[in-house]
Every structure is written in structure tokens, then in C-alpha cells.
Structure 1
Amino acid sequence: MARMKFLCDAERCIECNSCATACKAEHDVPWGVNRRRVVTLNDGVPGEKSISVACMHCSDAPCMAVCPVDCFYRTDEGVVLHDKDVCIGCGYCSYACPFGAPQFPTNGTFGLRGKMDKCTFCAGGPEANGSEAELEKYGRNRLSEGKLPICAEMCSTKALLGGDGDVVADIFRQRVVQRGKGSEVWGWGTAYGKPAQPQGGHGGAVKAEAKAEVKS
């Protein structure tokens, strides 16, 4: 079974916001809620980059850990969804999420801001696939139709990748290698780097050569 993941290639993102616009149009997202948004890093200085951010559907999701009513759940494909019928709008998930994915639909006082809303990876909710209830609460279920999330499909430069995590990782790896980059790419060592050499590896050989030179 595929594990669905998002990845945004900062070298390709041109901050056109087509991903965010497509998401709002496809799911009729409430005013004030942005399931996906484009964030600019180092704005106005050398090295400025833009990335598209939404729920990352974490394998160990903090929103699930802090929800007092367990309204969050994970599908067989690894998509993190939530049940709005169970949600009490406490906002704990919004504080726990490092990506700011869960959001209140309105701006009333505490307790009057409604149920939380978040990116669904275009996978709907707990209602029957393609039902009117699912469409009204969570938007269109594109995954049940055999399609990828609308944000990834509408990305003009293919900076935003969404789908099977292994396939997404392979595409990004090939891109980075073709660019002639590797270790300087953020996160590259963690994702694709080799384990550190043991003490008896190259480091041990260098030390042995140094000792030999001293003895001679």
C-alpha cells in the first residue's frame, strides 16, 4: 500500500500560488482558511526561496497525539484526516502542528470559531466516498477517483509533488543529482546520506598513516 506524501522543490517554486488557488476552488474552502499556502523564506535577501506548505500527513502526527477527543485518524494510505462530527474546536491541534495546517474557519471568541479545517490530501473524510455529505464537509475526494491532489496537478513548474512517498522521493533525488548538487541541499544527508564511517573506516586509515609517518 502506498504512503501518500507531499514534497515541494524550492528550486522550482515560482510563488505563483496556483496550488493554493486550485485548492480553494476545488473544495470550496471557507473564507479565512488556507489549506495550502506559499511561504517565502529569506524574503528580499540572497538565497530567497519559496515553498508550498500544507498538512504534511506526518507518520507520527502531533495533531493526533494532542487531540482530546481523538477526531484525527490515518487512512490505509497514510493520509491524516479528521472527523468534524467529533471535533470540539478546542484548537489543540493548531498549537501542536509545526506547519499550521489545522485552522479555525471563523474568527469569533474562543469556543465560537467552529470545527477545525485542514488539508485532506484530496481524500475527503469519514463519510462515504463521493457522497454529498463528504463533499460539503471536506471537499472533493479525488483519491477515490484515482487522481492526485489538485494542488500538485495544477503546479505549473511541477515544484509541488504529491503521491506515493517512494515515487516522490525518487523524482526529487533524480532532480538533485541532475543539478549536480547533493550534500548542500537541506535535508539531503538525512534522507539519502550514507551512515557515518565506523572508527575502523577511512578515519582509522588516516590515523594509521599518520602514526606510520611519525615512526619513520
Structure 2
Amino acid sequence: MARMKFICDAERCIECNGCVTACKNEHEVPWGVNRRRVVTINDGVFGQEKSISVACMHCSDAPCMAVCPVDCFYKTDEGVVLHDKDVCIGCGYCSYACPFGAPQFPSNGTFGLRGKMDKCTFCAGGPEENGSKAEFEKYGRNRLAEGKLPSCVEMCSTKALLGGDGDMVAEIFRTRVTRRGRDGEAWGWGTAYGKAPEGSNPAPKKEKKS
């Protein structure tokens, strides 16, 4: 069984926000909720600007599932982390635990009044019957049941956002990084680990002209 995963190639993302628009349009996401967003680091700094599309990463060991006091989260056979809005009490614990800021609360009001949580579903719907009206109203369209990839992935014009079977996604990204060589290593790898990933080739140093 495939394990569904997302990965965004920062070397290809152009901050067009096509993925964000596609998600909101496909699922009729309410105002104030962004299941997906584009984050830009070093914005405006020449040569250092990087953008990356962020949403729920459907973690193998999801912290949101660990902290939810009512166990509204569950995981499908494909590894997609979903939640049951009929069980959710809007406590907000998941939003504090998630490192990606995926859980969203659409209601506005006094502190503590959050309403039902909403997040990226990997276009896999929810606990209701696949393709039903109730499923669409609560969670949006179930594209996975239709044999399709998430709308954000299909809409990405530069193919920076990859989604699908984790092994295939990893292989595509690994091939890209290897072809780029040392200068095109996985963005953030050096910061996290202090060295280039295995398989990347260090770029030759240019000789200074006398």
C-alpha cells in the first residue's frame, strides 16, 4: 500500500500561489482558512530568496494525533492523517503541537471560541461516504477516491510541489538533487546537518583570474 507524502522543491517554487488558489477553489475553503500557504525566506534578498509550499505533511508519527484529547484524528491505510469534525471540540491543542501550522480554526470571536478545526486532507475527504454531499461540505472533494492526485500538486506549474506515493516522490526529488550537484543540494540540508546529502557532487571551485 502506498504511503502518501508531500514534498516541495524550493529550487523550483516561484511563489505563484497557484497551489493555494487551487486548494481553496477545489474544496470551497471558507475565508480565513488556508489549508496550504507559501512561505518565503529572505524575501527580496538577491540570491538567497527561497519559497516553499506548506500544508499538513501527514506525518508518520503525527503530533496532532498524540495531543488530541478526544481522538478525532485517524490515519487511512495510505498514511493520510484525517480528522472527524463531529468529534472535534475545537480545543486547539493540535495547532500548538503541529510544527507546520496545518490545523486552522475558521471561527472568529472571544479567546477559546475556535469552532471546528480544518486542515489539508490530501484531497482524501473524511469519514463520510466517499463522494457524498456531507463529505464535500465538511472536508471538500475526495480526489483520491477518484484516482487523482491532490489539486495543489496538479496545479503547480513548475512541478515544485510533489505529492503521491512517498517512495516515488522521494525518488523524483533525489534524482533532481543529484543532477544539480553540490550547488543544487536540498535546500536547508547544510543548515540542518552541516554537510551535503550523500550522492551529491561538490561543484568545482573556480580559479581566480590574475
Q: TM-score, normalised by structure 1?
A: 0.85
More moved, 61-70 vs 177-186 = 177-186
Give the conservation status (yes or no) of the 8 Å contact 1:89–1:115. Answer: yes
Per-residue CA deviations over 1:113-150 (Å, capped at 9, x if unaligned) read 21000000000000010011000000000000000000
SS at match of 2:163: strand
SS at match of 2:171: helix
Query: Aligned partners of 2:101, 2:155: CA distance in 1, in Å?
Result: 22
Hey, what does 2:70 align to over in structure 1?
A: 69
Listed as ranges, the gaps of 5+ residues in structure 1 are: 195-216
- Give the residue type in structure 1 aligned to 2:83: H
SS at match of 1:38: strand
Hey, what does 2:57 align to over in structure 1?
A: 56
SS at match of 1:134: helix
Query: Aligned partners of 1:93, 1:110: CA distance in 2, in Å?
Result: 16
Q: Give the paired residue count.
A: 194
Give the conservation status (yes or no) of the 8 Å contact 2:92–2:114. Answer: no
Query: Aligned partners of 1:23, 1:85: CA distance in 2, in Å?
Result: 22
Query: Aligned partners of 2:51, 2:64: CA distance in 1, in Å?
Result: 25
Hey, what does 2:24 align to over in structure 1?
A: 24
Hey, what does 2:205 align to over in structure 1?
A: none
Instruction: Note closer, same or farther for the CA distance 1:171–1:140 as it changes in structure 2 (3 Å cut).
Output: same
Q: Percent identity?
A: 83
The Cα of 1:75 is off from its aligned counterpart by 0.4
More moved, 184-193 vs 139-148 = 184-193
Listed as ranges, the gaps of 5+ residues in structure 2 are: 200-210
- Give the residue type in structure 1 aligned to 2:19: C
Matched, 1:39 2:39: yes
- Give the residue type in structure 1 aligned to 2:87: V
Give the conservation status (yes or no) of the 8 Å contact 1:176–1:182. Answer: no
SS at match of 1:20: helix
Hey, what does 2:207 align to over in structure 1?
A: none
The Cα of 1:107 is off from its aligned counterpart by 1.8
Q: RMSD of aligned C-alpha atoms?
A: 1.9
Query: Aligned partners of 1:144, 1:191: CA distance in 2, in Å?
Result: 39
More moved, 184-193 vs 77-86 = 184-193
Q: Which has the larger radius of gyration?
A: 1
